[in-house]
Amino acid sequence: QKEVEQNSGPLSVPEGAIASLNCTYSDRGSQSFFWYRQYSGKSPELIMSIYSNGDKEDGRFTAQLNKASQYVSLLIRDSQPSDSATYLCAVNEGAGTALIFGKGTTLSVSS
């Protein structure tokens, strides 16, 4: 059974702080890794994708991947109240397979 594990939270951070979200996955064959943001009552919105070990930065977001440890993380710098949402980690084996999602981590940013 392929699994993606996330701490459900809630993770609470003050405005302007760094939020760190973590995800582990069970399938060593996983090739592609994604972070989706989901506001309450809305559908998942893709915010980051990462395919190789290391860091990938996009604005205030940084995704980190460590395939040896089967670990993916998302850092949100200068957190804003508008970042308050559930963050879903998703992985797949690349071509020919569907995304396996974690249950999501709820982030709350207080002003």
Partner 1 sequence: EAGVVQSPRYKIIEKKQPVAFWCNPISGHNTLYWYLQNLGQGPELLIRYENEEAVDDSQLPKDRFSAERLKGVDSTLKIQPAELGDSAVYLCASSLDWGAQYFGPGTRLTVL
Least separation in angstroms between CB 16 and partner 1: 29
**What sections of the chain are H helices per DSSP?**
none
The burial class, CB within 10 Å (0-12 / 13-18 / 19+), for 35 is buried
Pick the closer one to partner 1 by CB: 70 or 97: 97
Cα–Cα distance, 89 to 77 (Å, whole number): 18
Please pick, from the candidates 12, 78, 94, 110, the single residue that binds partner 1 as defined by CB under 8 A: 94
Report if residue 95 touches partner 1, rule: CB under 8 A.
Answer: yes
The burial class, CB within 10 Å (0-12 / 13-18 / 19+), for 9 is middle
Please pick, from the candidates 7, 61, 70, 101, the single residue that binds partner 1 as defined by CB under 8 A: 101
Interaction residues for partner 1, span 44-83 (CB under 8 A): 44-46, 49
Pick the closer one to partner 1 by CB: 36 or 74: 36
Cα Rg of the chain, angstroms: 13
Task: Answer yes or no: are the C-beta atoms of 47 and 63 closer than 8 Å.
Answer: no
Pick the closer one to partner 1 by CB: 17 or 32: 32
Residues that bind partner 1 (CB under 8 A): 4, 8, 32, 34, 36, 42-46, 49, 88, 90, 94-99, 101-104
